[in-house]
Structure 1
């Protein structure tokens, strides 16, 4: 039997998308009535020797075409497919594989990490005194339903910061207020984010509701959740939110309840929440974090070297902690051994690559390509026109992709038409560039960027550089800056920079 390619169940990523494809299949098959489909299923199951008690009712078959089903009967869905396409096993097999994939995603989304207590915060929280005060003021302000979103790039320490704030707020409260915490897995590298309906089911159980009293419908669960929190001054922590749609059903919206949200994505559509960007650490705090992670006093002898390490890592807490642990576990390494290349590689290997890759995976194809091409730009700051030259696309397209990168906090907007890329994001982009872009496209992007620079009279020169084994003429504004970036760190005993 020939089925048009437009009917492709492999496109489905959710149960609702699978049902939408099933509806199209029904229309293609001549739109048989539910009564006729039920008759065909009864016939097929009778031939297969299934007892009459298992045969579905007409209403049950009709429910197979309803959206919003969270626990569908996979056996019956496949019976509907077979009733529509006949005995063509190849077609039925394709639908079976798609359904298994969809149900696997649904099952993963239903797995929830939620508790009626806060996880332990960082044992030694370092720095950010001003930001802590600002967050506490926003979360305990006079507003009836204070909601605060902490946003920032991967590895900047949003969860540690949120838990530190939550524990401080809780310390000043009476001990019997409800506390709810959920990991929403919005930036999980593998699998979907947590289903808000599943989170609410766990929250309701933690609030004392038995399973038989938990509504099936998402809106009904949200209503019961808010009813239970009324007048109880609860503290809700929603960690690693994917987007505003995932968060909205979980907001108490009850007077006196406070909600703390963390997300890598800018949740600007969540109008009821105050937004607080979490930047990388201040330089002095970065040095202190490296010293704390190292657990050794040997760093005191050459603080300038530690400061340079922190600068090269962009003061990102995840990277600083990874390098600190490496120093602790490798006492034979002198500070001068942490050249730029091994330093950046160690940071990427220490978790930064995985964290950035998860943010990268959420991007559109165009935004991902621009991220990689930004590794070719002569400085860490780029204007829209320069990005358009790299892409070979109109400025409006480049601006849209830059905005998408900024929304994921992979770059930072510094002015209306200017953006800055973090050193480790730049390193990740350079690492991916020659893997994901063919050499001819890279050289074409460099040619366009060079022509753009000449048109605008920029003081640039081309310098041959090897990126992942590919020798490229990279434009540089200042040769000295590039030399400094590739130089090793100072030797501990001299404090002087070694020759590159």
Structure 2
């Protein structure tokens, strides 16, 4: 809505910057000609408010009347503004729909591993500690929500104080629709805390102040799931001694002062096997634990993918464990939830950052540095470093050393899948040419081999390691996909 108002101000300037009085006079004239009762005509101050940002419940009829007063009766222009306002209000309405409760959702029936992380979180959130805000951050599908609920349920079971409990899904990575509006979340929280409608202020800051006033001294536990950014979170933090807040986010919340950030890592290998056992059944995986360990390795120990494959094993007893080799394994994991989770994060990236993510599938290895990223994109290293930092902050990329980054195997598979959907073959060839030239400039032993990626036959750089005498082929495709040297 603020962007719409900013455009309306520009339209006013384009129209010669008429005064609010003159705009009001034109609206009165138009509405008189349309036969509208004089009691409906807006006051000058009401028209002036149309140009103020921060509006949450605009009068659509009046806004369009302002546009008409500025541009005249040009129906083509009015239609564009009408559609724009409809889109803005539709997004505002979606953002105002919140899922907030005065209780915690049920946690997972099976929770595996994370012992050290849970213990550390409980120490940080203990009532006698100063730290009151804990942010759990990690890649899509790593189990942040289940971990947050597990921690919160354990805290409540230990304390049993009867303190208020608040939970909200902030939809920061929802694949469709905007993140939840913090003002709407606060309205629901305030009602859950007993505030009547006439006590709830209209202004966001006033709502946040009342919210903190009601929580002061209560020792409340607030769980804010799937946060978009620090700006969305700030009004929702209790900010009172004794109140604890647990946040989950796919983004690095570096701008949230006073919060302790805990990265949520992938599962340990033994815990990955245990999760497969819990979801598939002990009898299902017992015949070949070695194969189960290899499956967990291929899935990169990502809890969401492990749960997906575990359910598939349970529901398809005719599949032998050896049937879950790399190609069908990755495809199954992507099709039943992992792709959706990755797409939700991918869709919120800038265009060139998304393009880099896809082009990284052309890399012979899953590691990359800024110079190689710049070669793939055909951009300066400074721009490539910015894109890499954005992908790292979104937890779609892991920084392994100060200047090197690595893709998770499933993110790499997703990038490869999107590559031939979003990038024309000609641009892939250009990127490969720059990549080959970059390798030569580094005096690396780089050759070409022909590979098929999603049905496209492309020459791919092949890197040779003089240290071990091996030619390193990309690890995300089985050798059968290499057509010729």
The TM-score with structure 1 as length reference comes to 0.92
Render the CA deviation track for 1:367-425: whole Å, top value 9, x for unaligned.
Answer: 11110111011111112222122122222111111000000000001111011100000
Equivalent residues of 1:196, 1:250 under 8 A apart: yes
- 1:316 paired residue among 289, 296, 302: 302
Deviation at residue 456 of structure 1 after TM alignment: 2.5
Is 2:470 the counterpart of 1:486?
no
**Structure 2 Cα separation of the partners of residues 201 and 141 of structure 1:** 27
Instruction: Tell me which residue corresponds to 1:361.
Output: 347
- 2:233 paired residue among 247, 250, 254: 247
Instruction: Tell me which residue corresponds to 2:68.
Output: 82
Render the CA deviation track for 1:179-229: whole Å, top value 9, x for unaligned.
Answer: 110000000111100011111111100000001110111111111111111
Q: Once superposed, which parts of structure 1, at least 4 consecutive aligned residues long, lie more than 4 Å away?
A: 478-485
Give the 3 Å change call, closer, same or farther, for CA 430–485 of structure 1 in structure 2: closer
Instruction: Tell me which residue corresponds to 2:49.
Output: 63
- 2:400 paired residue among 387, 396, 414: 414
Give the 3 Å change call, closer, same or farther, for CA 59–132 of structure 1 in structure 2: same
Give the 3 Å change call, closer, same or farther, for CA 274–483 of structure 1 in structure 2: closer
> Where does the alignment leave 5 or more consecutive residues of structure 1 unmatched?
1-14, 489-500
Equivalent residues of 2:364, 2:475 under 8 A apart: no
Instruction: Tell me which residue corresponds to 2:466.
Output: none
Instruction: Tell me which residue corresponds to 1:297.
Output: 283
Instruction: Tell me which residue corresponds to 1:391.
Output: 377
**Structure 1 Cα separation of the partners of residues 476 and 412 of structure 2:** 16
Q: Equivalent residue of 1:275, what SS?
A: strand
Equivalent residues of 2:193, 2:214 under 8 A apart: yes
Deviation at residue 296 of structure 1 after TM alignment: 5.1
Instruction: Tell me which residue corresponds to 2:104.
Output: 118
- 1:267 paired residue among 244, 253, 263: 253
Render the CA deviation track for 1:113-138: whole Å, top value 9, x for unaligned.
Answer: 00011110111211111111122222
Segment drifting more, 40-49 vs 90-99: 40-49
**Structure 1 Cα separation of the partners of residues 232 and 286 of structure 2:** 46
Instruction: Tell me which residue corresponds to 1:196.
Output: 182
The TM-score with structure 2 as length reference comes to 0.95
- 1:433 paired residue among 419, 430, 447: 419
Is 2:329 the counterpart of 1:343?
yes
Within-5 A mapping of 1:217-256: 217-256=203-242
Equivalent residues of 2:364, 2:472 under 8 A apart: no
**Structure 1 Cα separation of the partners of residues 476 and 361 of structure 2:** 17
Instruction: Tell me which residue corresponds to 1:475.
Output: 461
Q: Please report the RMSD computed on the Cα atoms of aligned residues, expressed in angstroms.
A: 1.6
Q: Equivalent residue of 1:382, what SS?
A: strand
- 1:183 paired residue among 141, 148, 169: 169
**Structure 1 Cα separation of the partners of residues 178 and 65 of structure 2:** 27
